[in-house]
Amino acid sequence: MARPSNVIVRRVPIPFSLWNRFPNILTVLRKQQWRGTVSKAHGSLATKVIPSVKRGRVFRTISTLDPEKLRSTDFVDLSEYRVPTITMGSIGACELRYAYRSDIVPFPPNTRGFLYYHTYRNLPPTCGEIRFRLTVDSNPGNFADGTDLIGCDAIPWSISSLTLSLSSYANARKQLEDDRLISKSLSNNMDTLRGTFKVTKSYPREMYYLEQPFMFDMNWALARFKLVTATEVRPMQLQKLFVDQREGGKLGRLLLRFERSRLPDDVGTNTAVLRVLKILDPIKLSIPGYDAHIPLPEAGSLLLKQKYSRTLVCSWDLDDGRDHVASALKILPSACDSQRTTFIPKLLKSADFINLSRS
């Protein structure tokens, strides 16, 4: 069977149990790098081809990840590439991925700009991350006027310090050390922190401060987070935020953030609530004729929940050591007062979250 000239075929892992049944077919499958599955009933090969744009090999070499030392030669184009390779000077290469949703998601069109190391003002160095700054051209002078690449989860695409401790990103971490953006002791500390939390793939989202925005899909029954501080990495799970036990749920994506409660009933307490910053997708009801027993989320409002036939604000008493979410959130610093070097409880406006996430 001839392969069409305008398509490529991708490999997927083949179950070990099939090798003993179809060794000849699967050997050819591996050699030709075809993507397919083998029918258990007939042993026939089903092949799926995926359209692709034919491209030659692209060599991308950058000299630094320090935004203050960028050159025009550090400008790279990752548009529509699935796994682009970046060479870190004379150190070695590193592969990048935009996202993974049952398969690798390619970088969006017009992903052109500079890779750089981002740090949060007044947060521990363990909260640093590599980001991609979109710019109009290769002039480093336009870096400040650019915007960060946004990921599939509606927040800036990044490679966190915790992820950089993986062996596959060893060359990127060495580049950061050569740029004096991280120290050897910090690098060793990240290895230690990662060693204490080994299930990072099951907890893909990182949180560094209480008011940090995050995307939540209303169809999720469970969302997992890694809460990262200077001394520990703690897991946290949010469950069934949008489940109406009488009728069903809702479909849509929201941008949320935790914040200190200023409700009258919470005065003098250490209580966190969830605010809806933005509705990313139009909300759809999974069951027609839903009576909105739990009010639909609105941008700028606090998130509500149903409990004992009552509609209440979603809240967590951070001093309640029995609650998993509350005890996890308590380790995070709150929003930073620009006039101080320590974090203090402070309510942010919805428009402020973007400014807070920048250096």
Return the pLDDT at 139: 95
* Average predicted confidence (pLDDT) for the chain: 76
Place of tokens 């075929």: 9
- The residue ranges of DSSP E strands in 229-359, in sequence order, are 233-239, 250-251, 253-260, 271-279, 284-285, 304-307, 310-313, 315-317
Residue 171: predicted pLDDT:
93
Least confident stretch, 71-80, 268-277, 329-338: 329-338
Lowest mean pLDDT among 76-90, 123-137, 294-308: 294-308
Please enumerate in sequence order all residues whose Cβ is within 8 A of that of 290, keeping only pairs 6 or more positions apart, or say none: 244, 247, 248, 250
In the predicted model, is pLDDT for residue 175 greater than 90?
Answer: yes
Dihedral of the CA atoms 294, 299, 300, 306 (nearest 10)? 10
Residues 129-159: pLDDT tens digits? 999 999 999 999 999 999 999 998 899 999 9
pLDDT at 292: 65
| Bridge partners, residue 134, by sequence | 113, 147
Give the confidence band of 166 by pLDDT, cuts at 50, 70, 90. confident
Q: In this prediction, what percent of the chain has a pLDDT beyond 70?
A: 70
The confidence score (pLDDT) of residue 338 equals: 35
CB of 60 closer than 8 Å to CB of 85: yes
User: What pLDDT does 212 receive?
Assistant: 92
The pTM for the full model equals 0.74
Query: What is the tens place of the pLDDT at every residue in 92-137?
Result: 999 999 987 768 899 999 999 999 999 988 888 889 999 999 999 9
pLDDT at 353 over 70: no
